[in-house]
Structure 1
Amino acid sequence: MRLGPGDDAKGARYFYERWGVDLGLVPTRQGERLLLREEVWTLAGTKVTGCLRLERAGAGLRGSWTSPDGRRTLPVALAPLDVTRLPLNLPDSPGLRRLRGSDPLTFLKLNRAWVEEAGGARIREPLSGVRYPRVPGGSAALNVALQDRQLEHAANALDCRAGLEGVGEDAYALAVRVTIQRSRLVSLFENAGYYCGGAHPDNFDVGLILDRATGRPVLIPAIWPGLTPARLSALYLARSGADAECREVLTGRDLALTAHLTPQGLALTPTSLPHVVTACAETVTLPLASLRAQADPRGPYFRDLYLR
């Protein structure tokens, strides 16, 4: 259970581990007693699933849980937990430590053994079901960086499902593929589709270019110094086969692009389009040969992409 930071416990929620369910808690006070009403959001509206009545008991809380019809009552005893004292059950990483500090409840859900698949080329987080590639034989730093990407998506998936009763793994679906592996560079492309109870489903794309040794992001100017965001937008529009309607959408706004590498070139995908025109977000690939003149021949990544 996570209580809010103040005495009013605003933002409280708890996780029912047996059923893999998150329950929101709406706090009120009755004298010295803290009342926490369990609520889940359904497509038909909010549903109350129970009520906790708690009082201070030393450093913890003690009281009871009552069903909505008042027919069942269970005793409740809560003790504080310092998650910073718990061991890390995954490889140590900046993302895991950040999560432990910023969202202890989600950390508790995800800080458990994950499952290797495909001979270690893919890892599944068991609670969310989110899968993410690894690079067998890659550096520890690279695979920890990939773990942190998966950790972020797993946390997003759990948060998404917590907002709507009865949704399964399809509520947040992630597809990731490694698009290129070279001696110094690794690139991936993520596509996430989700429905968390809003007006409509949505999706987003993320391209990643990583240093194979350090796992750190490689910015496009580190490979092609002249490829500013404005220049990339111009190149994207020049090669786009968009129809007139989509071209009007793409040129009528600041175009944000995400990038990843493929054997064919630098792939660019729009990320800033409204939901109603996401069909216009087609990926355009700039051939490596067309970018060679703008590459830094003295840079650390040049030989990964170009033969001298």
Structure 2
Amino acid sequence: MHRWLFPAVLLLSASAGAQDLQKCGGLSNPPAWVRSGVYAGVLGAKEITLGLNPRQAEGNRYFYAGQANELRLTPFHSGETLILQEEVRKSLGAAPVVTGCFTLVRAEGALRGSWKAPGTSTTLKVSLEPLNVARLPLKLPSSPGLLRLRGRDPLAFVRLNHAWVVSADGQRLREPLSGLDYPRLPQATPALQAALQDRLLSHAVNALACAMDLPENSGGEGYGLSTDVTLLTPRLLSLREDINSYCGGAHPDTATTGLILDRASGRPVPLSALWPSLTAARLKALYLGAATSDPASECDDVLREMQDRFAVSLGSGGLSLTPTSLPHVVSACAESVVIPLGQLRRGANTASRYFADLYPR
């Protein structure tokens, strides 16, 4: 999961901001010389880090050192001068309010200029130097997700590339900026540790994107994550992730993800490697057979007509299935059911290296 999970909110915000094009002056789009990159320096007396991306609107944003929130920027130009319009939503459903105007020029690769609060006499000097993100030392263990983030969203990489916090019992890992945490296995292989780190990293990126889309009066809404280890065997690790988020859209969102990982490699273990006969259609039939039936409930019809997509995780009781295709208005129907492992034994892959973990003698 990454920042593009929230495109609708981003597009709405960009559209609303476009209604106020002349607040900072200039014409739409940045000057031709602007390239994607990250800059670090000062705005007045405060340290800031600023990202530019002429091809992706969500890539234009900045943050103050020590502060959790990012501020969205809309680029304009006046000749060769770059104008960045700082936009903030004050309340839900309202168009963004322009809270600042950057006026910047190139100076031997650096950016120099000023920031001004519209309608006031407040003007602050801005001095920014290019930041070579590719050469920044990793402050977390190297992992595929961390390296991908450095290339895809260097500003998010700068924000999240810092030491994370291990709980006192060593069983959880917390990313301080987002406040999210994730299970940690102290004796895990480096590959599995990297896989778990990347899961938390992905959620932290989404949490920061969510926070940027919330209005100032959001009242503590945002991105919440609950993750539990549901099964731990010599060769397998299974987890369940539950997300509850509100990022300024029409309604809160929920999502459930099930993971089955190889404890040595950290790689996902396909369900077909454990039970080759468990097709999507078969999973739906098993789910409907195990789900509580109530003829007076509208959920019966909803569940029969839903698409056969499920969050799948393993537990000591069996295989847990949670529907993931239900629309928000009927999401309450998406109850989890557990299919006992014994019921699935006839179709199990006896040649699998995981068979003994699921069916010990």
TM-score, scaled relative to structure 2: 0.82
Higher normalized contact order (CA 8 Å, seq sep 6+, divided by chain length): 2
Residue aligning to 2:102: 52
Q: 1:247: how far off?
A: 1.8
Residue aligning to 1:89: 139
Residue aligning to 1:105: 155
Residue aligning to 2:61: 13
**Aligned Cα RMSD in Å?**
1.6
Deviation larger for 269-278 or 27-36? 27-36
For 2:290, the aligned partner's letter is R
Paired residues of 1:242 and 1:280 also in contact (CA < 8 A): no
For 1:293, the aligned partner's letter is R
Structural mapping, 1:202-281, within 5 Å: 202-244=253-295, 245-281=298-334
Distance (Å, rounded) in 2 between the aligned partners of 1:282 and 1:10:
35
Distance (Å, rounded) in 1 between the aligned partners of 2:176 and 2:221:
14
Quickly say closer, same or farther: Cα 1:271–1:100, change in 2 above 3 A: same
Distance (Å, rounded) in 2 between the aligned partners of 1:255 and 1:89:
41
Paired residues of 2:58 and 2:72 also in contact (CA < 8 A): no
Paired residues of 1:129 and 1:169 also in contact (CA < 8 A): no
Residue aligning to 1:293: 346
CA deviations on 1:183-229 (whole Å, 9 max, x unpaired) are 00011000001011000111100000100111110111111111111
Distance (Å, rounded) in 1 between the aligned partners of 2:149 and 2:204:
12
Paired residues of 2:193 and 2:266 also in contact (CA < 8 A): yes
Q: 1:93: how far off?
A: 0.3
Structural mapping, 1:35-184, within 5 Å: 35-42=83-90, 43=92, 44-166=94-216, 167=218, 170-184=221-235
Identity in percent: 54
Q: 1:114: how far off?
A: 0.3
For 1:200, the aligned partner's letter is H
TM-score, scaled relative to structure 1: 0.95
Q: 1:68: how far off?
A: 2.2
Paired residues of 1:10 and 1:26 also in contact (CA < 8 A): no
Quickly say closer, same or farther: Cα 1:206–1:118, change in 2 above 3 A: farther
For 1:153, the aligned partner's letter is H
Distance (Å, rounded) in 2 between the aligned partners of 1:300 and 1:199:
46
In the TM superposition, structure 1's runs of 4+ consecutive aligned residues that sit over 6 Å from their partners are none
Quickly say closer, same or farther: Cα 1:250–1:178, change in 2 above 3 A: same
Deviation larger for 135-144 or 162-171? 162-171
Aligned length: 307
CA deviations on 1:56-102 (whole Å, 9 max, x unpaired) are 11112110001123321111112211211111110100000000000
